[in-house]
Amino acid sequence: MPELPEVETVRRGLAPALVGARFARVTLRRPNLRFPFPERFAARLEGQLVTDLARRAKYLTANLDSGETLIMHLGMSGRFDVALPDGRNVSPGDFYLEGALGTPKHDHVVMAMETGATVTYNDVRRFGFMDLVPTGTLAACRHFAGMGIEPLSEALTGEAVARLFRHRITPLKSALLDQRLIAGLGNIYVCEALHRAGLHPETPAGSLAGTNGGPTPKARLLARVIRDVLTEAVAAGGSTLRDYVHTDGSAGAFQHAFRVYDRVGEPCTAPGCRGTVARMVQSGRSTFYCAECQQAPGPARAPAVRRPATRI
């Protein structure tokens, strides 16, 4: 499934075709994707101006001058193709099954804009979806209610990490993947961030908060490297694994900068480290780390027991 940097890459590529343009005609070639389309979906889009295109976690949100917001999720294989009025075809990011790239039978939504551009949503597996909600209720809608802070925003600080993780004994990797705490982080970039921070994936999340609840140095470091990893991945156009590539033949390049992800048995790239990358399974998902520079947490100590004073 595409992670936050891949979705941000798609957003930046779609913005020139959508923002400031009106939907002239919207064609639905099936009644549903992962879920049925909202009632009168095409009619509610047609004639509306896209005033803004944003990203929330792994979702795209397009504000309309009707007072509604179009929510789009790529699922596992969703992609957008843009045909420009000058005849050029552009794809900001493609997620597809090998052998099925660009197959017209998987073009499920066609959005013709008044500018002459056409935006087509193609989804082989149909795990993506689209929804329309009132813009004023966006934060409280079923997709975003209870969602955590944005990892690329100013809200992600060492203080925020300490506050969110305090008293939690769950493994640090699991806490970072909890969308109720920090929204949009996925398996690849959590593995990479933990390695850069020198934190073992099984470290109790609560250990990043000091006894007074404030951030430890590792909490501040983790907040910084999360932003660094995501920013670098966005700049590289995301990571091309099995299902991600650009239609013009170029590809997201961040996978060439992976330090641990999918590198089992290879040397650790941390300066001065002579360890090798290992793999473990946490909650059914692969975790990649270096046991040498990401030291495993020591055994938890039982709380001290206060014994009654002995009377003499």
Among 11, 55, 56, 58, the active-site one is 58
DSSP state of 241: S
**Alpha carbons within 13 A on the beta-carbon side of 253:** 5
CA-CA-CA-CA torsion for 187, 71, 73, 231, nearest 10 degrees?
-40
Among 3, 6, 68, 192, the active-site one is 3
Among 22, 126, 227, 285, the active-site one is 285
Residue carrying the six token digits 């806490």:
175
Q: In a 3-state reduction of DSSP, which class is residue 66?
A: coil
Active-site annotation holds for 58: yes
Active-site annotation holds for 297: no
Active-site annotation holds for 299: no
Interhelix angle 217-235/4-18, rounded to 10 degrees, is: 50
Residue carrying the six token digits 């813009």:
135
What CA–CA distance (Å, rounded) separates 21 from 25? Answer: 12
Interhelix angle 158-165/217-235, rounded to 10 degrees, is: 110
Active-site annotation holds for 3: yes
Q: Which residues are catalytic?
A: 2-3, 58, 285
